[in-house]
Amino acid sequence: DLLTLSNIFSNVENLSPQIIRQVSKEIADLCNDPPEGIKIFPNEEDITDIQAQIEGPSGTPYAGGLFRMKLVLGKNFPSEPPKGFFTTKIFHPNVASNGEICVNTLKKDWKAELGIKHVLLTIKCLLIVPNPESALNEEAGKLLLEQYEDYSSRAKLYTEIHAKPPKSLKDTAGILEETSKNGQDGPMAKKHAGDKNVLDKKKKEKKKVLKRL
């Protein structure tokens, strides 16, 4: 909303020139040499609004997804931690319905010397190892502890719908194979079955052409 936007923009004025230079340098360094699986989108008009994209780590329900997020630096940064939000919808115990991220690094474990890179890496790690004890999404936290398969299926579905770019037929076939390995025959598997048949047909046609050659 407008009030939030005005508060964010005013933060630049509240930060000292030294802090502004420090943040600008760190953002430039992150753009030139980004951590693995993390991409930064600097906001040249407002350095207190840091946009980033995190690749869903392999071996997790978020694998293959591209998750947009932002860090908002408050007027007391770095004495106080930034606020973190996922702008891509995600099913995760430590992410509220409004996208707010709950991680100890952004709360009680914050130290002024911790930089933006550390925060981004911590949030990426949260996708690998969620912390159900400080859940903002109680349903996700409960499923993670009591019914992991249900949690994983729900998180994968959210990733599929909200975080994955449009797929080629090859990608779709890969997803179908992975789903069948897990013994799942849900709506996503049925959805991709038609795509796999098309892909198989194209493969056969390609073999026929090669034989003629």
pLDDT at 176: 54
| Averaged pLDDT for residues 12-28 | 88
| Averaged pLDDT for residues 99-111 | 89
* pLDDT reading at 106 higher than 70: yes
125 is catalytic: no
23, 67, 74 from 123: Cα distances, Å: 19, 11, 18
pLDDT at 70: 95
pTM: 0.72
Q: Which residue has the tokens 């797929």?
A: 167
Amino acid present at 49 = D
Surface-to-core class of residue 109, CB atoms within 10 Å of its CB (0-12 exposed, 13-18 middle, 19+ buried): exposed
Structure tokens at 174: 């890969």
Catalytic residue among 30, 73, 102, 116: 102
* pLDDT reading at 189 higher than 60: no
Gap between the Cα atoms of 11 and 43, Å rounded? 14
| Averaged pLDDT for residues 72-95 | 94
| Averaged pLDDT for residues 200-209 | 50
Residues 79 and 72: beta-carbon distance below 8 Å: no
pLDDT at 5: 44
What is the number of alpha carbons within 13 Å of residue 68 lying toward its C-beta?
11
Residues 23 and 31: beta-carbon distance below 8 Å: no
pLDDT at 181: 59
pLDDT at 146: 96
List pLDDT tens digits, range 46-60: 888 999 999 999 999
State the chain's mean pLDDT as an integer: 81
pLDDT at 206: 46
pLDDT at 75: 87
Give helix 187-212 / helix 169-181 axis angle, nearest 10°. 120
Please choose, from the candidates 29, 48, 79, the residue with its C-alpha nearest in 3D space to the C-alpha of residue 40.
Answer: 29
| Averaged pLDDT for residues 205-212 | 48
pLDDT at 104: 83
Gap between the Cα atoms of 107 and 23, Å rounded? 20
Point out the least confidently predicted range of 97-111, 114-128, 140-154, 195-209: 195-209
List pLDDT tens digits, range 59-70: 999 999 999 999
Helices (H), the chain: 2-14, 17-32, 116-128, 138-146, 148-158, 169-181, 187-212
List pLDDT tens digits, range 127-172: 999 999 889 999 999 999 999 999 999 999 999 999 998 765 455 5
